[in-house]
Structure 1
């Protein structure tokens, strides 16, 4: 169970929007905008998208009216400049650090299926579609993301660890960090995490 699933459960229970940075970036790509083509050039090679691009995309979404009473960010901020930008413009109340082993992360990510039409996600083991490779919501053919391979995941994980430590320290000093071990029964863990949270603006990170 990954950060997206945790975010979805928290979003439903807290009645605030779940904003996945990955989905925001993929939306730009699917719209074939100039920004989307730039994003795709990084994502297709398994590289992280530059801070400036990600900040602009996230900030635009956070200005929407449905975020006025709170929001859950999934996968952002991932670098210290992103965290500083967010704290200056959209300060968070809590930052959850999901902790899992690299082996667990690879197993989860490599089994993911994605609907290119509506954005719904599935997993071959934990959340399979009712019909093989067909989206339950819209009927489109499911696909795997080009960066969902063990080699790309390992490289991105190493890059992530190198960049996330300053982010963790940043929020720890602000007293906003909530470490949480995310291995075990997903439903029990999700609601256990929910009980630990008392505010509406929450960011989900993941680390070994």
Structure 2
């Protein structure tokens, strides 16, 4: 079972990806992690990617696809995988289709305004990593270690709204792409973690 998971920042995509992978013994392939691992391991493709990144340029699709091809040819992917963070646009989806068959594209549908509110209210403890919301910690103190809670830079309202805008612009064509291919599984991502997971399991059975 070769799966893609799509969802806006803050939609719970990472949480759901972990649950799906555990339930079906699938490797979770994040292109960001894949790039970092190849760079750390000093592979030939990693060196090429690093040269682009050091120059402040985007790593070209052809290079990312080559990294993905190498990864999905590994033994742990023989029964399938879950792709997270790729493809990001139609051109990448076309290239991906040339190297592997995708069985389903899971799309976590969310209300972007509510998502922006949720992310902007998120608070994190830098000391122990505890995460909560401003509503659940009105005193601004961590319930675990008592340290002060802060808002991360990427959770600030203007940053969140820009990230969601970019996501919506880039991902809307992908939703149509996989819908046309009969592979799209739309899931209401505003439900509880458990209900979202149940809906995903029912959709991919």
- Do these two structures clear the TM 0.5 threshold for a shared fold by scoring above it? yes
C-alpha distance in 1 between matches for 2:14 and 2:113: 18
Unaligned runs of 5+ in 2: 1-10, 134-141
Structure 1 residues 108 and 52: CA distance shift in structure 2, 3 A: farther
1:9 is aligned to 19
Structure with larger Rg: 2
Structure 1 residues 108 and 54: CA distance shift in structure 2, 3 A: farther
Across the aligned residues of Structure 1 and Structure 2, the Cα RMSD in angstroms comes to 3.7
Structure 1 residue 70: Cα displacement: 0.6
Corresponding residue to 2:181 among 174, 184, 189: 174
C-alpha distance in 1 between matches for 2:152 and 2:51: 16
Alignment partner of 1:187: what SS?
Answer: helix
| Higher RCO, Cα 8 Å, sep 6+ | 1
Counterpart contact for 1:16–1:71, Cα < 8 Å: yes
Counterpart contact for 1:96–1:178, Cα < 8 Å: yes
Q: How many residues align?
A: 176
C-alpha distance in 2 between matches for 1:93 and 1:196: 11
Q: Counterparts of 1:18-97 in structure 2 under 5 Å?
A: 18-28=28-38, 34=47, 35-36=49-50, 38-39=52-53, 50-97=60-107
Deviation by residue 1:35-62 (Cα, 9 ceiling, x = unmatched): 23634766xxxx9754334323322221
Calculate the TM-score normalised by the size of structure 1.
0.67
Structure 1 residues 18 and 66: CA distance shift in structure 2, 3 A: same
Structure 1 residues 16 and 156: CA distance shift in structure 2, 3 A: same
Deviation by residue 1:162-186 (Cα, 9 ceiling, x = unmatched): 2222222211111000111101211
2:168 is aligned to 161
Unaligned runs of 5+ in 1: 115-121, 134-143, 199-208
